[in-house]
């Protein structure tokens, strides 16, 4: 009678080898996590006091222009919070995030409404607050993915904790895309109305705020009927806001 084949026993060496690889992987993951948390905290705290020099979007748009045979263009000029006209700050809040001064970086009611509308329409709309948009613009790359949204939430929490609303608004209005190669409200104000951001009127501020969602397609000085209606609604919301206590 032939003897039954005995099952092979796993060698201790193989088990030790696998455990060693697992420990190494866990150490690498832990190190990457610590580096990510440390570096993100460093840059968030740094940008509390130092103005962000450039964003990923500015660089991407520059290469896109080069790809179209155009010259590299990043038209921007940083202006301090107090050098931005009050109507521009009010227009930004009225257009993008009316609970800006009350929320803690997230407007869950707006997020719920966006999810509900997106489930019924192919045209996606966002529910992002000004803080979320600032986090995305300053620290992350353009695009839509769960990873990027997760990182956006992380940086939103950090800048709410370390910056405060005044700094968030200042950075937001200085880095936001306002046209082809145009970034920040001062560059937009000079380009569209030939005046500094400190001199913007209510109507001009509303005209600029109207194009925030799609600055490459829309113009503050050549609005469509839809944009004129949006400008009217923003002006109406600006009047209803009351004083903004930054």
Place of tokens 């996590």: 33
pLDDT per residue as tens digits for the range 63-95: 999 999 999 999 999 999 999 999 999 999 999
**Residue 101 gets which letter from DSSP?**
T
- Helix ranges (H only) for 102-142 are 108-120, 130-139
108: number of Cβ within 10 Å: 9
Are the CB atoms for 223 and 206 separated by under 8 Å? no
Distance, C-alpha 93 to centroid of its chain? 15
CA distance 95 to 235: 9
Short-list 35, 72, 32, CA closest to 54 = 72
What's residue 124's pLDDT?
47
What's residue 14's pLDDT?
66
What's residue 74's pLDDT?
95
Short-list 107, 70, 159, CA closest to 62 = 70
Structure-block tokens of residue 139: 């620290």
DSSP-based three-state secondary structure for 152: helix
CA distance 192 to 189: 5
What's residue 246's pLDDT?
86
User: Positive or negative CA dihedral for 209, 165, 197, 191?
Assistant: negative
Distance linking the first and last C-alpha atoms of the chain: 91
Longest CA span, the chain: 102
Q: Burial, 94: exposed, middle or buried (Cβ in 10 Å; 0-12, 13-18, 19+)?
A: buried
For residue 76, list its beta bridge partners.
183
Report, as ranges of residue numbers, the positions in the chain whose pLDDT lies below 50: 124
What's residue 109's pLDDT?
78
What's residue 13's pLDDT?
65
Phi and psi for 179 in degrees, rounded to 5? 160, -175
């Amino acid at each position: 009678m032939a003897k039954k084949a005995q099952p092979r026993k796993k060698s201790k060496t193989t088990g030790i080898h696998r455990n060693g690889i697992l420990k190494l992987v866990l150490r690498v993951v832990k190190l990457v996590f610590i580096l990510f948390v440390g570096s993100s905290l460093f840059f968030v705290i740094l940008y509390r006091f130092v103005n962000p020099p450039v964003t990923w979007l500015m660089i991407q748009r520059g290469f896109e222009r080069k790809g179209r045979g155009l010259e590299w263009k990043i038209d921007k000029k940083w202006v301090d919070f107090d050098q931005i006209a009050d109507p521009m700050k009010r227009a930004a809040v009225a257009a993008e995030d009316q609970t800006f001064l009350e929320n803690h970086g997230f407007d869950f009611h707006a997020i719920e409404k966006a999810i509900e509308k997106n489930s019924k329409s192919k045209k996606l709309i966002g529910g992002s607050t000004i803080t979320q948009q600032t986090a995305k613009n300053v620290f992350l790359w353009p695009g839509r993915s769960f990873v990027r949204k997760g990182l956006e939430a992380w940086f939103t929490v950090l800048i709410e904790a370390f910056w405060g609303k005044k700094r968030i608004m200042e950075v937001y209005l200085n880095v936001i895309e306002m046209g082809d190669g145009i970034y920040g409200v001062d560059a937009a104000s000079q380009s569209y109305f030939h005046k500094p951001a400190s001199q913007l009127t209510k109507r001009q501020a509303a005209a600029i705020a109207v194009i925030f969602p799609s600055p490459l397609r829309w113009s503050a000085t050549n609005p469509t009927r839809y944009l004129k209606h949006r400008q009217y609604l923003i002006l109406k919301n600006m009047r209803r806001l009351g004083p903004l206590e930054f």
